[in-house]
Amino acid sequence: MTAPPEMRDLAHLLLTYEAVAGKASEPVESATLRVYEKLRQSLGEFVGVAGFYSLASRALALAKPEAPSLNAARVSGDGALQGLGEIETQIDMDNDLAGEGGIILIARLLGLLRIFLGEALTLSLLRNSWPGEVFDDRNSEVRRKA
């Protein structure tokens, strides 16, 4: 079973936004890690560390069969994603293997959020983490699908 297309579209939107924002600020971490950390911070306040750990661990377990590049990644007890940075630096990002794994992981996490929190609350949490441009009217089609 693969991640739903609407969740992949939303994950791709968030990763693209962070990739563009990251180029302007000279980041030290990947777009996937930035998206993940924003979700971790926002959701951690809402569901707590243990709740986020449970969601993130399950999302990673669901994503690994679809993206074998994630096999070295793991979620630590505090919810941090470990091992992904090493994977992404070893793979040329232009060939999109690591990027595809990131999309799948974030899509799985978003899908679980939609299941457990509902569509409206999930989108509200996302808007708090990415105010403005990510969820403007140009992206209303993705919002309707999510």
87 is a domain residue: yes
Nearest to 134 by CA among 116, 112, 110: 110
In angstroms, what CA-CA distances link 58 with 6, 64, 68, 100, 105? Answer: 19, 10, 15, 18, 10
Query: Which tens digits make up the pLDDT trace of 64-115?
Result: 999 998 999 999 999 999 987 654 444 444 344 447 899 999 999 999 999 9
Q: Give dist(CA 126, CA 132) in Å, integer.
A: 11
142 is a domain residue: no
For residue 82, the surrounding DSSP H or E stretch is strand 81-82
For residue 74, the surrounding DSSP H or E stretch is strand 74-75
What is the model's pTM?
Answer: 0.81
Q: How many domains does the chain have?
A: 1
63 is a domain residue: yes
Residue 73, domain extent:
5-134
105 is a domain residue: yes
Query: Which tens digits make up the pLDDT trace of 15-33?
Result: 988 888 766 555 456 889 9
